[in-house]
């Protein structure tokens, strides 16, 4: 009985003991402990003292405060990051934490301001400080070229920020895309022609004129025209642009899982096609392409009788 | 009846029938149905001229008359529609089709009927026989029976039809009239529409001899009063334009299949369309189902493909994304239909895409096709899918938007349409865009016709001079002059004038052929719009 009393007294009276106990609990539950857990462990601890202890640990930077759907969570911070922040004050720590949370997508300075409620000048000072300590870096976003997002120094920026394989240093590489476009189309066209010259039964002819996206990907990789590694998704976006050019059509077939190039049991097949009509009659006349078509009427400045486009076309 | 259509109709009427008819026709087009007195009053022409113009218009089917609005007793009203007048653009195409299907005889029959509007069988046969005899070698003449048989063939395949008999108006205005059918009776509603009358036509074509020149000219002024009757008085024939249109539509579908797939598939589709020629109504969205067995039997004998190969071709046609042919059942080896409406929609879409491509370039065409496929897209998504740099994509989208080929749909996030909080989606609507292009086509044809008239007017003096010289030459040749006189007359036209004449001829030919080409686009777009209206 006396021991229990002593224990209780030691628990109640010593805040350091309380903090140590909380730290031990955190170590027991590495994913975090809620207030409830602390209460269960030390039922005689008053809420004030509990709160004091937790605050002390937070300000020392030894506990992480998180929120989940059930309530607040306390987690032990690993010692590495605690050492990094030595010498920085609370505000910097806060800003650093916000940037860390943003992961590899980075976060804009205005968003940091919203989340931390610090004034702009403070934020800028802190950011400069952190950058000089080489803890964060600024990456230019490809979507809005003036926007700079901040992320941790050693993280790779996400595809959505740099634009992926089609962007090199924030510039959209249209020639690269064009070249790939042409190459894919040539490949599919030659395949279709080879199938047509084959002169077998029509079913076989049509099936052999198809190429899977995997085949096209392999062909492009072997061609070696790309310095960047292209994934099959990239090739599929190129093939989609060919579909929108009306030169290629696509079908999806069910494929067995495990066959090369199948994604979720499906395979995409591409085939070169011809257009179904010749250029239409309207565009064979100058009026079809005339930039001032709407201003033209008989008796006006621009009229069929004095149309210079028509005169040129007639003398052609 | 848009302004462009009225302008084009006016130009066509002026070219084919003269200015008086043009005046009356355009007045009726603009003002709707009117009676004789109002027309005379508003156009300011004399009674005879108006009456004659109305006769011409009715004869060619451009105008119809019916009893007035106020009831059976009121004066008859005349009503013109531009459809019939716009068909005049297509006459060369009809004549050419008749030539390919039925040879020179068919060509001349259709030409006669198009020129005269409504005629009887006997008069057509005689005139055509005479014309054919004219062009044949010496000593040969064309028999009437040959021409009649071609005529009957044309009627059997429904290219020609009888004009509907006119409704009889009641004699006294007081009697309560039978309920008047306000819609004009279509020729098809009469059971004897395609029945060839039994005509006694025995004889051969007469060659017009040179010695009869003087007499012919005198009697040509008066309508030839043929004393012979041939048993078909009062039965007038006209060209069935709808049937020609169906034929053109089939041709376009077949050539589209040939372009997309291969020759054999197009032959199969041609067979299917030929078999459904008379069983499908003009406004149907697809033909009646045909079984694979029937198709196999009806294939032309030159294409001897095996039955399993035919099945493969049919499966390929059904699987094609363009959906020209569809499968309607499994009996008889598979029942197949030709999806007419869908084929027309695909053809119209290809027309729109080709216009955008030629006008704005292939990257704008890529954006246009992308929007046609994906319906509604934001600007960022357009840039991503089309893989075009943002600045250029924005520029192209705005150009297309200003030309009204692409529309903007706003979806607000907040009740006040604040621009920063609204989604702006780009979209393409095929039907309104097709209508807009159709009007552009009408304007284009009108421009081409006006330019042609202008060029002719400019060189009027030169043309008259050349005509005079040709007349002099012809008369000299007939009266047997020496070569020196001929060359002397020929030299009256100087070399630069000759060159000018040649360029003029070249220009006019070019303008003419351009009109025909634009008419093909007009036909496609009109068929698509009519088919969509009929199916909705």
State pLDDT tens for residues A217-243: 888 888 877 777 777 888 888 888 888
Average pLDDT over chain B, rounded to an integer: 82
Instruction: Check the CA dihedral A185-A188-A194-A196 and report its sign.
Output: negative
Q: If you write DSSP's letter for every residue of A47-93 in order, what string do you get?
A: HHHHHHHHHHHHHHT-EEEEEETTEEEEEEPPHHHHHHTTT--HHHH
Q: What is the mean pLDDT of residues B100-116?
A: 89
B58 Cβ neighbours under 8 A, 6+ residues apart: B64, B65, B78
Spell out which residues of chain B touch residue A202, defining contact as CB-CB under 8 Å. Answer: 262, 264-265, 309, 312-313, 316
Q: What percent of chain A has pLDDT over 70?
A: 77
Band (pLDDT 50/70/90 cuts) for residue B213 is very low
Half-sphere exposure of B386 (CA within 13 A, CB side): 31
Band (pLDDT 50/70/90 cuts) for residue A10 is very low
Comparison of pLDDT for B311 and A168, the residue scoring more: B311
Contact A206 B316 (CB under 8 A): yes
For residue B65, list its beta bridge partners: B78
Contact B517 A206 (CB under 8 A): no
Number of Cβ within a 10 Å radius of residue B360 = 18
Q: Per the structure block, which two tokens stand in for A243? A: 């579909």
Of A240-244, A294-298, B165-169, B267-271, minimum mean pLDDT range: B165-169
State pLDDT tens for residues A72-115: 777 766 655 555 555 456 677 777 777 777 777 777 777 777 77
Q: What is the pLDDT of residue A11?
A: 47
State pLDDT tens for residues B130-180: 888 877 776 667 778 888 888 888 888 888 888 877 665 444 333 333 333
Q: If you write DSSP's letter for every residue of A40-53 in order, what string do you get?
A: HHSTTS-HHHHHHH
Contact B351 A298 (CB under 8 A): no
Q: How far is B531 from chain A (nearest CA, A)?
A: 19
Q: What percent of chain B has pLDDT over 90?
A: 23
Instruction: Check the CA dihedral B169-B171-B174-B178 and report its sign.
Output: negative
In this structure, the dihedral spanned by the alpha carbons of residues B272, B273, B275 and B278, taken in order and rounded to 10 degrees, is: 160
Which domains are present in chain A? Answer: 15-77 (1.10.10.10), 82-163 (1.10.10.10), 174-272 (1.10.10), 283-315 (no CATH)
Comparison of pLDDT for A146 and B99, the residue scoring more: B99
Is residue B225 pLDDT above 90, yes or no?
Answer: no
Q: How far is B184 from chain A (nearest CA, A)?
A: 34
Strand runs labelled E in chain A: 33-34, 63-68, 71-76, 107-108, 136-140, 148-152, 167-168, 171-172, 211-212, 248-254, 266-272
Comparison of pLDDT for B103 and B144, the residue scoring more: B103
For residue B422, list its beta bridge partners: B412
Contact B375, B427 (CB under 8 A): yes
State pLDDT tens for residues B291-305: 888 888 888 777 777
Q: How far is A283 from chain B (nearest CA, A)?
A: 6
Q: How far is B520 from chain A (nearest CA, A)?
A: 6
Q: What is the mean pLDDT of residues A135-161?
A: 70
Of A165-169, A306-310, B169-173, minimum mean pLDDT range: B169-173
Contact A293 B260 (CB under 8 A): no
CB-based burial of residue B278 (10 Å sphere; 0-12 exposed, 13-18 middle, 19+ buried)? Answer: exposed
B124 Cβ neighbours under 8 A, 6+ residues apart: B109, B112, B113, B116, B151, B237
Q: What is the mean pLDDT of residues B439-457?
A: 91
Contact A244 B386 (CB under 8 A): yes
Is residue B391 pLDDT above 70, yes or no?
Answer: yes
Smallest CA-to-CA distance from B187 within B232, B249, B241 is with B241
Say how far apart CA A25 and CA A73 lie, in whole Å: 12
Say how far apart CA B461 and CA B465 lie, in whole Å: 6
State pLDDT tens for residues B470-493: 888 888 877 776 777 777 777 777
State pLDDT tens for residues B5-55: 999 999 999 999 889 999 999 999 988 888 888 888 888 888 898 999 888
Nearest to B347 among A245, A277, A293 (CB): A277
For residue B412, list its beta bridge partners: B422
- Locus of tokens 């924005």: B394
Say how far apart CA A107 and CA A128 lie, in whole Å: 15
Q: What is the mean pLDDT of residues A310-314?
A: 88
For residue A76, list its beta bridge partners: A63
SS in 3 state form for B322-384?
A: CCCEEEEECHHHCEEEEEHHHHHHHHHHHHHHHHHHHHHCHHHHHHHHHHHHHCCECHHHHHH
Band (pLDDT 50/70/90 cuts) for residue A28 is confident
């Amino acid at each position: 009985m006396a021991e229990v009393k002593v224990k209780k007294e030691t628990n109640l009276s010593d805040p350091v003991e309380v903090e140590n106990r909380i730290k031990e609990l955190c170590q027991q539950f590495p994913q975090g402990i809620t207030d409830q857990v602390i209460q269960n462990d030390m039922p005689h601890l008053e809420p004030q003292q509990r709160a004091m202890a937790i605050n002390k640990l937070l300000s020392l930077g030894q506990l992480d405060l998180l929120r989940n759907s059930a309530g607040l969570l306390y987690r032990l911070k690993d010692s590495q990051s605690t050492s990094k922040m030595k010498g920085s004050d609370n505000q910097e720590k806060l800003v650093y934490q916000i940037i860390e949370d943003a992961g590899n997508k980075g976060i804009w300075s205005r968003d940091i301001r919203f989340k931390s409620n610090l004034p702009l000048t403070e934020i800028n000072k802190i950011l400069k400080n952190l950058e000089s300590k080489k803890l964060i870096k600024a990456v230019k976003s490809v979507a809005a070229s003036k926007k700079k997002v901040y992320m941790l120094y050693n993280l790779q920026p996400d595809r959505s920020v740099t634009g992926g394989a089609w962007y090199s240093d924030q510039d959209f590489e249209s020639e690269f895309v064009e070249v790939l476009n042409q190459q894919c189309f040539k490949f599919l066209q030659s395949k279709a022609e080879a199938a047509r010259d084959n002169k077998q039964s029509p079913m076989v002819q049509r099936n052999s004129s198809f190429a899977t996206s995997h085949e096209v990907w392999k062909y492009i990789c072997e061609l070696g025209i790309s310095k960047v590694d292209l994934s099959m998704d990239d090739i599929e976006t190129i093939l989609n642009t060919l579909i929108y050019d009306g030169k290629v059509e696509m079908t999806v077939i069910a494929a067995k899982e495990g066959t090369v190039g199948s994604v979720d049991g499906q395979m995409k097949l591409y085939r070169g096609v011809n257009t179904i009509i010749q250029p239409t009659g309207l565009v064979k006349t100058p009026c079809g392409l005339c930039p001032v078509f709407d201003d033209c009427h008989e008796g006006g400045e621009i009229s069929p009788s004095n149309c210079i486009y028509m005169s040129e076309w007639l003398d052609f | 009846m848009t302004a462009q259509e009225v302008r084009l109709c006016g130009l066509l009427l002026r070219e084919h029938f003269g200015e008086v008819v043009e005046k009356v026709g355009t007045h009726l087009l603009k003002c709707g149905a009117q009676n004789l007195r109002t027309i005379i009053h508003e156009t300011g022409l004399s009674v005879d001229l108006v009456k004659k113009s109305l006769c011409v218009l009715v004869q060619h089917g451009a105008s119809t008359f019916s009893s007035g609005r106020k009831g059976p007793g009121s004066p008859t009203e005349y009503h013109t529609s531009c459809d019939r007048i716009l068909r005049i653009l297509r006459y060369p195409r009809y004549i050419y089709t008749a030539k390919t299907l039925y040879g020179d005889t068919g060509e001349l029959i259709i030409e006669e009927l198009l020129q005269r509007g409504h005629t009887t069988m006997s008069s057509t046969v005689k005139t055509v026989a005479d014309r054919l005899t004219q062009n044949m070698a010496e000593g040969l003449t064309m028999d009437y029976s040959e021409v009649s048989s071609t005529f009957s063939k044309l009627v059997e395949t429904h290219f020609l039809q009888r004009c509907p008999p006119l409704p009889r108006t009641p004699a006294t205005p007081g009697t309560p009239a039978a309920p008047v059918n306000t819609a004009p009776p279509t020729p098809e509603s009469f059971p004897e529409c395609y029945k060839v009358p039994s005509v006694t036509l025995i004889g051969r074509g007469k060659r017009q001899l040179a010695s009869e020149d003087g007499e012919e000219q005198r009697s040509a002024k008066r309508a030839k009063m043929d004393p012979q009757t041939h048993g078909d008085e009062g039965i007038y024939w006209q060209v069935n334009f709808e049937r020609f249109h169906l034929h053109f539509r089939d041709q376009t579908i077949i050539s589209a299949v040939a372009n997309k797939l291969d020759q054999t598939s197009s032959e199969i589709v041609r067979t299917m369309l030929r078999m459904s020629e008379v069983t499908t109504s003009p406004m149907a969205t697809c033909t009646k189902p045909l079984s694979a067995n029937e198709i196999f039997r009806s294939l032309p004998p030159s294409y001897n493909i095996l039955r399993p190969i035919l099945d493969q071709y049919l499966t390929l046609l059904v699987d094609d994304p363009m959906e020209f042919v569809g499968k309607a059942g499994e009996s008889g080896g598979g029942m197949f239909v030709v999806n007419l409406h869908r084929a027309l929609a695909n053809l119209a879409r290809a027309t729109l895409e080709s216009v955008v491509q030629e006008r704005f370039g292939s990257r704008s065409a890529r954006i246009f096709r992308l929007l046609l496929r994906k319906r509604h897209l934001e600007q960022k998504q357009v840039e991503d899918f089309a893989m075009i740099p943002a600045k250029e994509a924005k520029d192209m989208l705005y150009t297309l938007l200003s030309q009204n080929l692409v529309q903007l749909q706003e979806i607000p996030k907040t009740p006040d349409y604040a621009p920063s909080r609204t989604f702006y989606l780009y979209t393409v609507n095929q039907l309104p865009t097709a209508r807009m292009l159709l009007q552009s086509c009408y304007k284009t044809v009108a421009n081409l016709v006006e330019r042609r008239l202008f060029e002719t007017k400019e060189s009027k003096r030169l043309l008259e001079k050349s005509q005079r010289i040709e007349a002099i030459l012809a008369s000299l040749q007939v009266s047997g002059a020496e070569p020196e006189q001929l060359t002397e007359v020929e030299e009256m036209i100087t070399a630069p004038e000759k060159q000018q004449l040649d360029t003029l001829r070249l220009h006019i030919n070019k303008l003419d052929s351009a009109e025909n080409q634009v008419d093909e686009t007009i036909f496609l777009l009109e068929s698509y719009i009519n088919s969509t209206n009929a199916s909705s």
